Amino acid sequence: MREIRIGIIGTGIIAHQHMQMYQDIEGVRVVAACDLIPQKLDCFCKRYGIEFQYADYRELLKRDDLDAVDVCLHNNLHAPISIDVMASGKNCYCEKPMAGSYADALAMYKAAKRYGVKFHIQLAMIYGGEVIAAKKLIDEGYLGHIYHARSYGYRRRGRPFVDGYAEKEFNSQYWAGHGALYDMGVYHISQLLYLLDLPKVERISGSIYQEMPMDEERRRISGFNVEELGLGLVKFENGLTMDILESWSIHGAPFPASSIHGAQGGLQFAQSGQLKYYSEIAGYMAETTLDVASEDYRQTQLNPPSRLLYKNSQAHWIGVLRGECPQIDTPAIALQTMLISEGIFLSNQLKREVSAEEVQALSVSNAITEQETPFGELVYRKYPFQD
Ligand SMILES: NC(=O)c1ccc[n+]([C@@H]2O[C@H](COP(=O)([O-])OP(=O)(O)OC[C@H]3O[C@@H](n4cnc5c(N)ncnc54)[C@H](O)[C@@H]3O)[C@@H](O)[C@H]2O)c1
């Protein structure tokens, strides 16, 4: 088995999760890492036995022994740094959401084509047993004509940083672009877009909210100015619709997980990882729970290599780098997800439904990049985006 050598940029919370995923895959070695904070970088490298440390990602990109570079940075850094990775001729894996705006995501999408490299976005919820099962049911016609989907995500009180978990950058438009829809909504929307075969978006409406009180000191430190609740309605071509409800924080009972509805049957995901199928049997309304775990186990025993390639995002990516499977087009799915989220923000701003073309025309870059001042201090400035 060919060894796959990875460089990683950013050694924060998500980089630790990536390391754990890579450690589970045979023949993957993370050989180089980069972070602006030397102590953090050093701890990370010592913990995972990573040989080479870099303070400047551009130096890491000069290496000629990497199969891919993994970008684990704040959202508004995804575009400039992923594009630099791809311009250096290296395959690029980037965290979700794809970027801090649709315009930035589109520039990344085009860069992958321009530089002819492999490019992948972390969309964790398009893999695993329930999604494989849902896709099989849809492909085999168990739902019939599909006309509606619900993209739902719920936290009762889980805003990053101000409610405890994660760093302050999640809450600031400057670093993250937006809030709950970008952070969690991306997983649920992209899962449905993948299962629905990436339908073309026509019109979007929606609203965003930040209403609930929070720890005032943490609000000040993080400069909290993003949504804690996002909701929307998307109209696709051929009459398909999707409603969206994504909460970091709300006074209310848990929402049901996402679902897909067709003329012959419906699919309901569950927080527990179960998949339910709703249909009619001999005139009776029926609710079937699919034993996803057992079938997943059986298929993994019968056909381990191919099943493992759809187990999670990293396993899929490594399989793609080794040429073991065709790549799920995550850049296209992630770009469409960005279009939908940005449509909700634009609709909220204009107080009306917007078209996909309007979102595309009005989207602007949110990207930032770091620069050194004459005094050796590192500051971030608006990225001078050229596409
Ligand atoms: N925290 C989570 O649970 C989680 C989950 C899923 C996805 N994500 C995504 O992962 C990304 C990063 O989030 P995080 O929680 O790991 O953030 P984090 O703040 O924990 O880590 C980001 C790291 O990047 C470093 N950094 C910033 N600019 C840099 C530069 N120019 N060069 C090198 N290093 C630089 C920072 O010093 C920091 O160590 C975000 O896009 C987020 O949406 C996070």
Residue 304, pLDDT score: 77
How many C-beta neighbours within 10 Å does residue 384 have? 9
Contacts of 188 (CB under 8 A, 6+ apart): 125, 151, 152, 153, 244, 246, 258
User: Half-sphere exposure of 49 toward its Cβ, with a 13 Å CA cutoff?
Assistant: 5
Q: Ligand 1: which of 8, 19, 34, 36 to mutate, most ligand atoms within 8 Å of CB?
A: 36
Residue 63 contacts residue 33 (beta carbons within 8 Å): no
Query: Is 286 part of a structural domain of the chain?
Result: yes
Residue after which a domain boundary falls, among 245, 276, 308: 308
Distance from C-alpha of 289 to C-alpha of 278, rounded to nearest angstrom: 9
* Same domain flag for 108 and 171: no
* Same domain flag for 39 and 175: no
* Residue 84 Rama label (left phi>0; alpha psi -120 to 50; beta): alpha
* Same domain flag for 229 and 80: no
Instruction: Give the domain range for residue 96.
Output: 4-123
Which residue's CA lies nearest to atom 3 of ligand 1?
14
Residue 127, pLDDT score: 96
CATH number for the domain that contains residue 106: 3.40.50.720
**Pairing mode, strands 146-154 and 68-71:** unpaired
Q: Ligand 1: which of 17, 41, 42, 95 to mutate, most ligand atoms within 8 Å of CB?
A: 95
Distance from residue 375's CA to the centre of ligand 1 (Å):
26
Nearest to residue 262, comparing CAs of 149, 143, 151?
A: 143
* 122-162 per-position pLDDT tens digit: 999 999 999 999 999 999 999 999 999 999 999 999 999 99
Residue 319, pLDDT score: 96
Q: Which residues of the chain have pLDDT under 50?
A: 386-387
DSSP 135-184: HHHHHTTTT-SEEEEEEEEE-SB--TTTTSSS-GGGG-HHHHS-SHIIII
Which residue's CA lies nearest to atom 20 of ligand 1?
12
* Same domain flag for 66 and 159: no
Residue 308, pLDDT score: 86
Contacts of 142 (CB under 8 A, 6+ apart): 262, 264, 265, 277, 279
Q: Ligand 1: which of 9, 13, 21, 44 to mutate, most ligand atoms within 8 Å of CB?
A: 13
Query: Is 245 part of a structural domain of the chain?
Result: yes
Residue 305, pLDDT score: 80
Residue 376, pLDDT score: 56
* Same domain flag for 135 and 84: no
Distance from C-alpha of 160 to C-alpha of 224, rounded to nearest angstrom: 10
* Ligand 1 atom at minimum distance from 81 CA: 31
* Same domain flag for 152 and 114: no
Q: Ligand 1: which of 8, 9, 14, 56 to mutate, most ligand atoms within 8 Å of CB?
A: 14
Amino acid at 211: E
Counting the structural domains of the chain, the total is 2
* Ligand 1 atom at minimum distance from 14 CA: 16
Which residue's CA lies nearest to atom 4 of ligand 1?
14
Distance from residue 13's CA to the centre of ligand 1 (Å):
6
Amino acid at 27: G
* Same domain flag for 65 and 203: no
CATH number for the domain that contains residue 275: 3.30.360.10
Residue 383, pLDDT score: 58
Distance from residue 80's CA to the centre of ligand 1 (Å):
14
pTM of the model: 0.95
* Same domain flag for 119 and 131: no
Distance from residue 122's CA to the centre of ligand 1 (Å):
13
Query: Is 334 part of a structural domain of the chain?
Result: no
* Same domain flag for 162 and 297: yes
Distance from residue 70's CA to the centre of ligand 1 (Å):
11
Which residue's CA lies nearest to atom 31 of ligand 1?
370
* Same domain flag for 246 and 149: yes
Determine if the peptide bond prior to 304 is cis (ω within 30°): no
Task: Read off φ and ψ for residue 302, nearest 5 degrees.
Answer: -75, -40
Distance from C-alpha of 296 to C-alpha of 304, rounded to nearest angstrom: 10
- Joined tokens for residue 268: 């309901």
Query: Is 244 part of a structural domain of the chain?
Result: yes
* Same domain flag for 184 and 286: yes
Distance from residue 286's CA to the centre of ligand 1 (Å):
45
Query: Is 319 part of a structural domain of the chain?
Result: no
* 292-326 per-position pLDDT tens digit: 999 989 998 998 788 889 999 999 999 999 999 99
* Same domain flag for 142 and 230: yes
Distance from C-alpha of 210 to C-alpha of 271, rounded to nearest angstrom: 25
As for ligand 1, residues whose beta carbon falls within 6 Å of it are: 9-15, 34-37, 40, 57, 72-75, 77, 95-96, 166-167, 169, 183, 370
Coil/strand/helix, residue 73: coil
Residue after which a domain boundary falls, among 80, 106, 123: 123
What is the end-to-end Cα distance of the chain in Å, rounded? 38
* Ligand 1 atom at minimum distance from 41 CA: 39
Residue 266, pLDDT score: 98
Which residue's CA lies nearest to atom 39 of ligand 1?
12
Residue after which a domain boundary falls, among 82, 108, 123: 123
Distance from residue 27's CA to the centre of ligand 1 (Å):
25
Query: Is 379 part of a structural domain of the chain?
Result: no
* 229-252 per-position pLDDT tens digit: 999 999 999 999 999 999 999 999
- Joined tokens for residue 337: 């997800």
Query: Is 337 part of a structural domain of the chain?
Result: no
* Ligand 1 atom at minimum distance from 40 CA: 39
Residue 5, pLDDT score: 98
Distance from residue 74's CA to the centre of ligand 1 (Å):
5
- Joined tokens for residue 277: 């199928």
Distance from residue 14's CA to the centre of ligand 1 (Å):
6
**Pairing mode, strands 91-94 and 201-209:** unpaired
Distance from C-alpha of 237 to C-alpha of 199, rounded to nearest angstrom: 7
Query: Is 22 part of a structural domain of the chain?
Result: yes
